[in-house]
Amino acid sequence: MVFSKRKMKHFLIIGVLLVFGICFYKSWSNPPTILTNFKENYLDNKHSANHQHHSASNNEQQQALVGNEFYTNSNDDAENNNVNILNNDFKNELNQAYKRIDLLESKIKELERRIPKKHPDVRFLNYKNRKRILITGGAGFVGSHLVDVLMMQGHEVVVADNFFTGRKRNVEHWLGHENFELIHHDIVNPLFIEVDEIYHLASPASPPHYMYNRVKTIKTNTLGTINVLGLAKRVGAKVLIASTSEVYGDPTVHPQPETYWGHVNPIGPRACYDEGKRVSETLSYAYAMQENVNVRVARIFNTYGPRMHMNDGRVVSNFILQALQNESITIYGNGKQTRSFQYVSDLIDGLISLMASNYTQPVNLGNPIERTIYEFAEIIRDLVGGKSKIIQTPAVEDDPQKRKPDITRAKKYLNWEPRVPLKIGLEKTIEYFRKELARSNHSQRNIFIPDVE
């Protein structure tokens, strides 16, 4: 049988209408559970709302329809329970989603705070006056403050750091600046770059840090210094070696002038650092005499200030953190041992003056105002204003009993002396640690591990 095109079209339309009709009838007479509930309850509620609550506003009626009561009016308990569970699950999920959004927002805010809005305005130096300066350990406490000053002066600064005690955070405000470069490099391995000056600060400096891996501390101060002096020799750079008051050991001369040869235990727990620095000085003068390398040696005394590590372990950070948290302030030994503390900005001025000078012998850089460790604990407790007790714990081995720099040389050849009073410097440092504590408590609370798949 042959149908015309027109008839075929009619059959097709009738067929489609039939299929739709059957589907519609089925879904209305036997709809899924939730639809059934909705249909019945909607009609029931509408009916009772019309008859019993004529005065209720439209708003109230709507709330009755969409709220929990909507489901509790159902006759089918099992279905009703299922719907309640679904409803609670949905609410829980929604609450969790809100919490996650809150956490994400606080995380984003924290990240935004860390993105520098704009680099600090540095001075412009012309090609003739601008130097390319390498700072080993430039992401550390002292190094990063030196970076700031040299960058502000308009120089090009290259930081090489292995981030053992240094932190990217200390220099992150310079990342992306055209005059700044950060290299993840351990100076125990040679470095081949072109520079005019080198500040060699790379080495852990706090006793617990330098004792943590003694062999590595010796390598850094011997092989590391050889690599720096070799680089200086190759490219004709001037180099400043960061030495330490620890080269005087537990001194028998007081205060300590640079001419004093020291009193060091070569096999004691501090030897990796103090003997390491003594070899570092020896290497510097060997390269100066034999290879004509232009060296400067700074003997740095106890220094404190912002950007010290929370886990630094030295007396200033320990006492401040203990006082801020109302914990006991722990003195190692009887507290009669002395130290002289300089603020970090004074040290940076001294380092830059020494590099710029023609003076090639070692120079002490430190604050000559001496205090016992017990006095120091009291000063910090009073400045912080807490109620910490001051307690004594066992003395540490080979702890130098007296230390105070003779700064006659620095005054004479560098025209340098410390300017920041202890109280002012400590207040800035306390403020820094207060913020660090708040920050670490905050980030501990907000540890966020996304579980989105």
Ligand X SMILES: O=c1ccn([C@@H]2O[C@H](COP(=O)(O)OP(=O)(O)O[C@H]3OC[C@@H](O)[C@H](O)[C@H]3O)[C@@H](O)[C@H]2O)c(=O)[nH]1
Q: Which residues are catalytic?
A: 273
**In the window 190-249, what residues touch ligand X (CB under 6 A)?**
205-207, 244-246
Distance CA 387, CA 403 (A): 29
Judged by CB under 6 A, the residue of 182, 324, 365, 373 near ligand X is 373
**Closest to ligand X by CB, 238 or 402:** 402
Is 380 a residue that touches ligand X (CB under 6 A)?
no
The closest residue (CB) to ligand X is: 314
| Distance of closest approach, residue 424 Cβ to ligand X, in angstroms | 20
Contact by Cβ (8 Å): 188, 223: yes
β-bridge mates for residue 180, sequence order: 157
- Report the alpha-carbon distance of residue 415 to residue 274 in Å, rounded: 27
Between 228 and 300, whose beta carbon lies closer to ligand X?
A: 300
Q: Which amino acid is at 208?
A: P
409 closest CA partner among 417, 420, 421: 417
Q: What is the DSSP letter of 252?
A: S
With CB under 6 A as the contact rule, the residue among 142, 159, 228, 331 that binds ligand X is: 331
How many residues touch ligand X under the rule CB under 6 A: the total is 19
Which range touches ligand X (CB under 6 A), out of 113-121, 183-191, 331-339, 428-436?
331-339
* CA–CA gap between residue 6 and residue 266 (Å, rounded): 110
Q: Considering only residues 38, 260, 285, 332, which one is a binding residue for ligand X as defined by CB under 6 A? A: 332
Closest approach, Cβ 282 to ligand X, in A, equals: 17
Q: Residue type for 51, please?
A: H
Q: What proportions of the chain, in percent to the nearest 5, are helix, strand and coil?
A: 50, 15, 35
At closest approach, how far in Å is the CB of 407 from ligand X? Answer: 15
Nearer residue to ligand X within complex by CB, 70 or 248: 248
**Min dist. Cβ of residue 93 to ligand X (A):** 49
Backbone angles phi, psi at 338, to 5 degrees: -115, 155
Nearest to ligand X of 221, 318 (CB atom): 318
**CB nearer to ligand X: pick between 105 and 375:** 375
CB-based contact 191:297 (threshold 8 Å): no
Binding mask 298-317 for ligand X (x = CB under 6 A): --x-x-----------xx--
| Distance in Å, CB of 329 to ligand X, minimum | 8
> What is the nearest approach in angstroms of ligand X to the Cβ of residue 333?
6
Q: Given the complex with ligand X, which of 179 and 302 has the nearer CB atom?
A: 302
The CA-CA-CA angle for residues 432, 438, 444, to 5°, reads 130
Contacts of 241 (CB under 8 A, 6+ apart): 200, 225, 228, 280, 281, 284, 295, 296, 297, 298
Least separation in angstroms between residue 277's CB and ligand X is: 8
Residue 331 vs 384, nearer CB to ligand X: 331
Q: Which of residues 65-84 bind ligand X (CB under 6 A)?
A: none
Contacts of 221 (CB under 8 A, 6+ apart): 203, 273, 276, 277, 279, 280
Q: Which of 339, 381, 402, 409 binds ligand X (CB under 6 A)?
A: 339
Q: Rounded to an integer, what is the distance from CA 175 to the centroid of its chain?
A: 15
Q: Which of 36, 396, 432, 437 binds ligand X (CB under 6 A)?
A: 396
> Which pair of structure tokens corresponds to residue 125?
């130096």
Q: How many CB atoms lie within 10 A of CB 435?
A: 11
In the complex, what is the shortest distance from the CB of residue 386 to ligand X, in angstroms, rounded to a whole number? 16
Cα–Cα distance for residue pair 274/217, rounded to 1 Å: 10
For ligand X, give the closer residue by CB, 195 or 400.
400
Window 150-189: contact mask with ligand X (x via CB under 6 A): ----------------------------------------
CB burial of 272-289 (b: ≥16 within 10 Å; e: otherwise) equals bbbbbbbebbebbbebbe
| Footprint on this chain of ligand X (rule: CB under 6 A) | 205-207, 244-246, 300, 302, 314-315, 318, 330-332, 337, 339, 373, 396, 399
